[in-house]
A and B are shown apart, each in its own frame.
Chain A
Amino acid sequence: GNSVTQMEGPVTLSEEAFLTINCTYTATGYPSLFWYVQYPGEGLQLLLKATKADDKGSNKGFEATYRKETTSFHLEKGSVQVSDSAVYFCALFTDSWGKLQFGAGTQVVVTP
């Protein structure tokens, strides 16, 4: 079946460090891929998305490229801030009915 695997956390970084969160997936067909972010005590917000192979999603300095050959959608940011401390979820749409398949989430802690 469909699944999403992302690196375990927590990931602890210093401010201005480079962040990478790995995400790989297993799916039939051509899923759309997403990164959602959850700040403490809040719901999930869409961070970025990509709907086809080689698409690059970007937002707030974060980027991820849809790599069909490696079935990956790794999230990167060149210089993190304390305000980026959150839980990040990789997800894909499994079919046409708006159902998302999530990874387990990666907590990121950025220290000053």
Chain B
Amino acid sequence: DTGVSQNPRHKITKRGQNVTFRCDPISEHNRLYWYRQTLGQGPEFLTYFQNEAQLEKSRLLSDRFSAERPKGSFSTLEIQRTEQGDSAMYLCASSLGQGANNEQFFGPGTRLTVL
């Protein structure tokens, strides 16, 4: 499968715990995006990487959230001291970064439930 993959697909955690999600983009894609989506809403931009550089981070993202893409390939999103409001689907997308439309290909998402 050469699409975007995310792990785990589901995560249930207790409030206050830390969680880490992984995203493996399509191999030749140099741009990687993280989004959060809640029921009935569209994906909400969290952060964006071009290769290993984190170029933009949403102002909505608190200091509890951090993302890395150390070698410009896979990326991790960590949430520290989780809160119930963090419960959502976390989507990763990648794009080629060249060409006319820069279509973003989405992974299946990680569904986080904070109890």
* A and B together in one complex: no
B-side interface residues toward A, CB under 8 Å?
none
